[in-house]
Amino acid sequence: MSLHQDLMLNRELGLIEFNRRVLAQAEDTRLPLLERLKFLCIVSSNLDEFFEVRVAWLKEAAEHTPDRILPDGSTPGEALNLVSDAARELIREQYAVMRDTLFPALRQENILFLRRTEWDDVQQEWVRNFFFRELMPILTPIGLDPSHPFPKVLNKSLNFAVELDGRDAFGRESGIAIVQAPRILPRVIRMPPELCGGHRHTFVFLSSILHSHMHELFLGMTVKGCYQFRVTRDSELNVEDEDLKNLRTALQGELRQRQFGSAVRLEIADTCPQHMEDFLLTQFGLLPRDVYRVDGPVNLVRLMQVPDLVDRPDLKFAPFIPTLPPVLEKKVGLFQAISEGDILLHHPYQSFQPVIDLLNLAASDPQVVAIKMTVYRTGTDSVLMESLIAAARAGKQVTVVLELMARFDEEANISWATRLEDAGAHVVYGVYGYKVHAKMLMVVRREENGLRRYVHLGTGNYHPRTARLYTDFGLLTCNEDIASDVNDIFVQLTGLGRASKLKMLYQSPFSLHGMIMSAIEREIENASEGRPAQIIAKMNALLEPQVIRALYRASQAGVKIQLIVRGVCALRPGVEGLSENITVRSIVGRFLEHPRVFYFYNNREENLFIASADWMGRNFFRRIETCVPVLDPRIKKRLIREGLRLYLEDNVNTWDMQADGLYRRRTSRGKEKCAQQLLLEEYTR
DSSP string, 560-585: EEEEEESS-B-B--S-TTTTTTEEEE
Question: Tell me, what's the pLDDT at 311?
Answer: 95
Question: Tell me, what's the pLDDT at 600?
Answer: 98
Closest CA to 170 of 228, 224, 221: 221
The overall pTM is greater than 0.85 = yes
Active site residues: 437
Residues with pLDDT less than 70, the chain: 1-5, 146-147, 168-174, 237-260, 405-409
Question: Tell me, what's the pLDDT at 406?
Answer: 56
Residue 376 CA to residue 156 CA, distance in Å, equals 24
**What separation, in Å, do the N-terminal and C-terminal C-alpha atoms of the chain show?**
51
CA 76 to each of CA 71, 90, 234, 541: distance values in angstroms, whole numbers, following the listed order: 11, 21, 16, 21
Tens digit of each residue's pLDDT (9 = 90 or more) over 358-413: 999 999 999 999 999 999 888 777 899 999 999 999 999 999 998 876 565 677 77
CB atoms within 10 A of CB 560: 17
Burial degree of 476 (CB within 10 A; 0-12, 13-18, 19+): buried
Q: Which amino acid type is present at position 170? A: F
Question: Tell me, what's the pLDDT at 244?
Answer: 45
Residue 492 CA to residue 484 CA, distance in Å, equals 12
The DSSP element (H or E) to which 495 belongs, if any, is none
Residue 592 CA to residue 472 CA, distance in Å, equals 9
Question: Tell me, what's the pLDDT at 169?
Answer: 61
Sign of CA dihedral 336, 341, 342, 347: negative
Closest CA to 535 of 512, 509, 564: 564
Q: Which long-range contacts (CB under 8 A, 24 or more apart) does 300-305 make?
A: 300/40, 300/41, 300/43, 300/44, 300/94, 300/98, 301/41, 301/44, 301/45, 301/48, 302/186, 302/187, 302/188, 303/37, 303/40, 303/41, 303/187, 303/188, 304/38, 304/41, 304/45, 305/186, 305/187, 305/188
Strand 560-565 with 450-458, pairing? unpaired
Residue 151 CA to residue 634 CA, distance in Å, equals 62
CA 593 to each of CA 46, 171, 324, 469, 482: distance values in angstroms, whole numbers, following the listed order: 15, 61, 20, 9, 26
Residue 524 CA to residue 513 CA, distance in Å, equals 17
Question: Tell me, what's the pLDDT at 620?
Answer: 98
Rg (CA), the chain: 27
